[in-house]
Chain A
Amino acid sequence: MADPEIKSYEPHHESQSAAVTESRPARLALMAVAFAFLGIFLLLPLIIVFNEAFAKGIGAYTEALGNPDTRSAIRLTLLVAAISVPLNIVFGISAAWAIAKFEFKGKAFLTTLIDLPFSVSPVISGLVYVLLFGAQGLLGTWLKAHGIVILFAVPGIVLATIFVTFPFVARELIPLMQEQGNGDEEAALSLGANGWQTFWYVTLPNVKWGLLYGVLLCNARAMGEFGAVSVVSGHIRGLTNTMPLHVEILYNEYNAVGAFAVASLLAGLALVTLVLKTLLEMRYGAEIAATRGH
């Protein structure tokens, strides 16, 4: 940081730097504790997933993944993500445009509301839809009379997934677009571009890496959501079972290889997500907003 400056007026630089960091043994001890903690709490769970998945060899692993119920769980998970993620992308862009490009009353409150799903237990996120669409629910009798099935079916799973992944794209784009300001858009508009052109050729290229970052996290959560989906799914094998729910069923049936084989796919997704996320942060750190995590 400002090191060269300090050197110029500080003759005892060596002893000085020792005073602003820990002694070597202390440093090593702190690092050892941190690594041991991370090793036990993060690395071991990851290792055991793959260890258990391949415990009975590659044959048992591929056989577990070839199971028709497993196949349909994978398909359902992909379908749910393919519906809910694009919807949340459209919402995220739209909300970010309204919040970042304009000054209006109640903006802070709206931003707080968007973050709301993060502070609600996943089980409650599922419960609210049961209360709305269930047989005893507010709309239950009306839906039944019209033959519309939402709960214990794909629409319910999609809704619950949208609920829990709602903030990801918006909260990534809002600070980023606020930081970038309106200058580029105003220039494009003054040169005669219309609103859509300004968005497609100016705003979107400016935020594309931040958007990708948000989509990545949104997708990981959409494919991995357990609690909310568990409440609304009804656990019908082959029909309303997503991959995380299928992991639970197999595990409770003492089919460890099967459970961990499906889990290994989800763990692989998590690893790919982390790698892509890290690459994005390394290459385009400045173009992704400062808000990290979640």
Chain B
Amino acid sequence: MTTAPAQAGWRFRQPSVIPGFGLTLGFSLAYLTLIILIPLSGLLWRSAALGWPEFWAIATDRRTINALRISFGTAFVAAAVNVVFGTLVAWVLVRYRFPGRRIVDAMVDLPFALPTAVAGIALTTLYAPNGWIGKLLMPLGIKVAYTPLGIVIALIFIGLPFVVRTVQPIMEEIDKEVEEAAATLGANRFQIITRILFPGLAPAIVTGFALAFARGVGEYGSVIFIAGNLPYKSEIAPLLIVIRLEEYNYPAATAIAAIMLALSFIMLLVVNLAQSWSRKRYG
């Protein structure tokens, strides 16, 4: 592994006086292969072994389709909400000075640090019909807990830091002189924000959306408590995998997992394309 092929043009690695390349790369690759790659390829192998007719039957099962639609749909809505409010929160944190800013800034990472099961039972208790927030929404006829709306709420909680932490550093780097130049040239605040600030932030916002969306699609712990988990109505795809596993229906669990991985992969590609497009367009 350490000895690079001796051809003049192509080298596996650049020469270096620092030792330990073989040891560290070898250990890292072995660990990565054992923990991540072999188990994941086991999943692909098992779903490939299913055969097309069986795979197709599972994939087009109405319950599977509904679960996937609910997972991707609620994750999309939650990520969209987070784009709006996450960008706003980032703006307030970057541009305004107020007492306790450091604490508010630290709080944004709470969803990263708080175990998802804790978030799940806390949100469910808040939004249940007799909960602090549920009680206020009840007279308005809005039911949150045990409906798809509850899933959205949980995914907003989970996804918020992804948007804020992606947009915030780019906002900090914005050169105020450009804004000042625009202002001296007669642009009003609205024009400056839409024509000058937003284009610079667009790639970061797209990335933040994608990260929040991807996390939301796979999220399990915070959702299952608040969702109500009614098949066809509020049952998310990861939960359906768990249910199939508990029924010892390994083929179905495997197929749904493979579909989720494939859809996430396609989404990642689309987002990468969108990013390079927005960089070209605005960059």
Contacts and interface: CB of A to CB of B under 8 A. Distances in A.
B125 A244 contact: no
Interface string A14-31: 001001111100010011
A286 interface: no
Q: Which 5 A/B pairs are nearest by Cβ-Cβ distance?
A: A121-B218, A224-B115, A19-B183, A226-B221, A104-B13
Interface residues of B, number: 98
Contacts of B42: 128, 131-132, 138
5 contacts: A94-B23, A247-B115, A247-B121, A263-B115, A292-B169
Given A48-B125, A104-B12, A186-B18, A226 B91 contact: no
B180 A94 contact: no
B256 to A, nearest CB: 9
Given A227-B219, A248-B117, 4 more contacts: A45-B122, A91-B28, A247-B121, A263-B117
Interface string A106-132: 000010011011011111100111111
Interface stretch (A58-66, A141-149, A159-167): A159-167
B106 A275 contact: yes
A182 B70 CA distance: 49
Given A42-B160, A124-B260, A274-B106, A6 B177 contact: yes
Nearest to A273: B113
A278 B254 CA distance: 40
B277 interface: no
Interface string A261-294: 0010011011101110110001000000010111
A143 B275 CA distance: 46
A91 B107 contact: no
A162 B36 CA distance: 9
Interface of B: 11-14, 16-21, 23-25, 27-29, 31-32, 35-40, 42-43, 45-46, 85, 88-89, 91-92, 95-96, 98, 102, 104-119, 121-123, 125-126, 132-133, 153, 156-157, 160-162, 165-166, 169, 176-177, 179-180, 183-184, 189, 192, 214, 217-221, 225, 238-239, 241-242, 245, 248, 250, 253-254, 257, 260-261, 264, 268
A173 B114 CA distance: 23
Max chain A Cβ within 10 angstroms of own Cβ: one of B39, B117, B179, B221: B117
A162 B114 contact: no
B269 to A, nearest CB: 12
Contact of B18 (A101, A223, A273, A292): A101
Given A31-B96, A274-B109, A247 B118 contact: yes
Contacts of B35: 159, 162-163, 166
A191 interface: no
A34 B88 contact: yes
A8 interface: no
B27 A41 contact: no
A102 B17 contact: no
Contacts of A123: 218, 220, 238-239, 241-242, 257
Nearest to A130: B245
A206 to B, nearest CB: 14
A225 interface: yes
